[in-house]
Amino acid sequence: MWYLFVAKDKPGTLAQRLSARAEHLARLEILNQQGRLKLAGPFPAVDSENPGEAGFVGSALVLQFDSLNQARHWADADPYVVAGVYEAVDIYPFKPVLP
């Protein structure tokens, strides 16, 4: 099943986000190689693809897992969670329709 992850950043955590980014992306690349990643990206804090010091306010991911429990377990081990970037990660079952 596909799951939508909506993560909210803690304010003032841009440095932690940048420090954990490579490890975070490496985990996502594994899922991508397995065909289990549909979408992944951050929410800029300002109306710009490159927000600079304004940073980000969260992230959205659409990933495939066998269960909600498995999805939650994966999210709990995310480097952004471990580094204290995310203050909350909500996960919803997701049914892709388009494209």
**In the numeric block, which tokens belong to residue 98?**
């388009």
The pLDDT score that the predictor gives to residue 39 is 97
The pLDDT score that the predictor gives to residue 58 is 98
Q: Report the C-alpha gap between 65 and 86 in whole angstroms.
A: 21
The pLDDT score that the predictor gives to residue 85 is 98
Longest dimension (CA), the chain: 38
Backbone angles phi, psi at 71, to 5 degrees: -60, -45
Instruction: Pinpoint the alpha helices (H) of 35-93.
Output: 68-76, 79-82
Task: Give 15-70 pLDDT, tens digit per residue.
Answer: 999 999 999 999 999 999 999 999 999 999 999 999 999 999 999 999 999 999 99
Q: What is the mean pLDDT of the chain?
A: 98
> Kindly report the CA angle at 85 between 28 and 72, in degrees rounded to 5?
55
Q: Which CATH number fits domain 2-94: 3.30.1300.10, 3.30.70.1060, 1.20.120.80, 3.40.50.1370?
A: 3.30.70.1060
Contact yes or no for 22/80 (Cβ under 8 A)? no
